[in-house]
Amino acid sequence: MLSAHQHRSATVVMGIIVLLLAAAWATHHAVVAFATDAETRSRLTVVWISLFLVFLLQTFMYHLERVPHLTERSRRQLDALHVSILVPVYNEDPGYLRLGLESFLRQTRMPDSVHIVDDGSTSSDYGEVRRWWEQAAARAGVATSWQVVANGGKRHAQAHAVRVSSEADIYLTCDSDSCFAPNAVEEILVPFARPRVMSVAGIVIATNNRANWLVRVTDLWFVVCQLVDRSGQSAVGAVMVNSGPIAAYRAAVIRDNLGSYLNETFMGRPVMFSDDSLLTLYAQQRGLTVQQPRAICFTAMPEKWSHFSRMYLRWMRGSTIRSVWRMRYLSPARPAYWLHAMRWLQMILTQMVTVWLLIVEPFVFHELPPGSMLVIPFLIGYAMGLRYLSIIRSDERIRQRAMTWLAMPLAIVLAWTLLRFLRWYGILTCAKTGWGTRHNGAEVSLDTRVSEIRQPEPAPALAGPAAPPSAATPAFGMPEPHYYPTSDPWAEQHQSTDTW
C-alpha cells in the first residue's frame, strides 16, 4: 500500500539557511561586479535586487504555513460531515483506476460516499473493476454510484456525480488515477475547522516517479512548486490553484456555481480544462483557500515528452484564462488579488533579467555576465528543492530522493528553456480551449494489482437522488444560490455574508 507523509527536519531547515546565505553572497558579488560601469547596468541591478527580494519574501511566506490544531469539539464536528468523493473517468488505465479506488477504502477516516462517472470511455468498459468496486464498497459501508454517460468532458462528469450526492457537506475532487495516502481524507478535512476556509488543496506526488528522468524531474519541480509557491499562498489563505488529483471544497462552493462551471467560455469558445483553478476561484470569492501539506495523493505523471508538453500547454492556457478572471472577479481587498499581481511582476522581472543577460550584454555591450550570476539560479533552486526531501514515501529510500534532488539543475535548465517557450506559446494560444489528451486511451498504464480486500458477495447498486434544479447562467456568472440540506455546522455562516 502506498503511503507518504511530510517530515519537518532541522537538517532541511539548516540547509535552506546555508544555501540562502550563499545565494545572498553570490547576488551581492554579481551586483557589485555588474553595476560598476554603466547607468543601464545599474538599472538592471535594481531589477535583479527586486527579483531577489521577491524570492526572500516568498521564502518567508512559505515558512509561515501552519496546520490548525483541532479541539475535541472541532474534531467531532468534522467527523459529522458527509464527505463525498467525485471520480470522473475517461479512458483511464484500469490498473490506476483500481489502485485509486482501493486507496479510498483504506482511509483512517472513511469517505461517506464515492461517486464514479464513466464519461463515455472508449478504451475500456471497466466491467471487472466496477464489479469489484461495488462489492468492496458495500462491504466497507461506503455508499457509491457508478454512472456511464455520453462524453461531455470532466466538468460534466463531475456535475453528474454532484447531482446524485445532495447529502454531501464536503466534496473531495480527484482524478481517475489518484491514489490517496491512508490519512489523506482525515487530514484534508482539518482546515475546515476554520469557518472561513472554503477549499483545501492537498499535496500531489508522482506514483511512477522512477519510470524515467523526465518523471523524476517533473515530480521534483511539481512538489517544490506546491511546498514553496502554494505554501506561501496558503499562509495568507490565498491558494490560487488546487491540484486536480486531490482537493476539497465546501459543498455549496460547487453546487451554487454549477451552472457557470459547466458553461464557462473564453473568446466565445467553451473552456474544457482548468476546472480545478475555476473551483478555487469560486472558493476565493467566498473566503479562504488553503493547503494541507499532510494530505498527500499519488498520481501518474507523463512519461513521454509529447504527453508532458500537451499537459503543460493546457496548464499555461488555463492559467492565462484564469488570470483574466482573477483580475475581473477578485476583490482588491483580498490577498489573492495582490499575490496574483506579484506573480506576474515576478515573471516580467525574470524575463527582463534573462533577455538582458543572454542578448543585450553579449551582443550590444560585448560583455559576458559574471560567472557568479549564472550560479545564482542553481543555488536558489537547490535551496527551494530541499523542501522536496521533506516528503517521506513508503516506496522510496531517502537516498533515492536525494538523487532526484541533485537533478535540480536539470529542472532549472528545463524551466529556463523549453518550458519558457511553452509558457509563452500557451499564453499566445490561450484561445485553444480543448483538453487535448486521452483520445486514444490512457497514456500511462499500471499493471492491475491484486487487491488485499476480500471480495464479498455482490451487493445491489445504490441508487442516488434525482438531479437538483439548475438555473440558466451566463458563461462565467454566479447563479442564484440553491441551498441544500446539510449537516455542516458552519453552513449558516458561509451561506450568509462573505466577509474576509
In a domain, 421, yes or no: no
Please, what is the end-to-end C-alpha distance for the chain in angstroms? 41
Helix (H, G, I), strand (E, B) or coil at 146: strand
Q: Say if residue 309 is in the same domain as residue 285.
A: yes
Question: Residue 412 belongs to what domain range?
Answer: 17-63+338-416
Q: What is the C-alpha to C-alpha distance for residues 238 and 242, in angstroms, rounded to an integer?
A: 11
- State whether 282 and 228 are in the same domain: yes
Element (H, E) at 6: strand 4-6
Nearest to 278 by CA among 291, 298, 259, 299: 259
Q: Distance between CA atoms of 344 and 327, rounded to whole angstroms?
A: 12
In eight-state DSSP terms, residue 303 is -
Counting the structural domains of the chain, the total is 2
In this structure, the answer to whether residues 110 and 215 fall within a common structural domain is yes
Residues 286 and 389 in one domain: no
What CATH number is associated with residue 137? Answer: 3.90.550.10
For position 225, what pLDDT does the model report? 93
Q: Is residue 499 part of a domain?
A: no
The pLDDT, as a whole number, for residue 490 is 44
215, 99: one domain: yes
Q: Which residues of the chain have pLDDT under 50?
A: 448-500
Q: Which helix (H) or strand (E) holds 84?
A: strand 83-89
Q: With contact defined as beta carbons under 8 Å apart, do 220 and 404 qualify?
A: yes
**Residue 470 resides in a domain:** no
- Between helix 305-329 and helix 213-225 the angle, nearest 10°, is 20
Residue 481's nearest CA partner among 493, 466, 469, 499 is 469
pLDDT at position 214: 95
259 and 157 in a common domain: yes
Residues 159, 190, single domain; the answer is yes
The answer to the question of residue 482 being in a domain is no
Q: What is the DSSP string of 424-461?
A: HHHHHTTT-----S-TTS-SS--PPPPPSS---S--PP
C-beta contacts of 405-409 below 8 A and 24+ residues apart:
405/220, 407/213, 407/216, 407/217, 407/220, 408/220, 408/378, 408/381, 408/382, 409/378, 409/381
140, 83: one domain: yes
215: cell is 518523471
Distance CA 432, CA 426 (A): 9
Together in a domain, 93 and 226: yes
Residue 217 forms part of a structural domain: yes
What is the value of pTM for the model shown?
0.83
Task: Report the C-alpha gap between 72 and 401 in whole angstroms.
Answer: 37
Strands 83-89 and 113-119: parallel
Segment (H or E) for 78:
helix 72-80
Count of residues in the chain: 500
Measured between alpha carbons, how far is residue 23 from residues 16, 51, 257, 353 in Å? 10, 13, 45, 16
Same domain, 168 and 262: yes
Is residue 149 within 8 Å of residue 120, measured between CB atoms? yes
Same domain, 149 and 263: yes
Asked if the structure places residue 286 within a domain, the reply is: yes
Q: Cα–Cα distance between 413 and 420 in angstroms, integer?
A: 10
Does residue 212 fall inside a structural domain?
yes
User: 167 and 265: one domain?
Assistant: yes
Instruction: Tell me the residue type at 96.
Output: Y
CB atoms within 10 A of CB 17: 12
Q: Is residue 456 part of a domain?
A: no
Place of cell 533579467: 353
Rounded (10°) CA dihedral 356, 16, 216, 85: -110
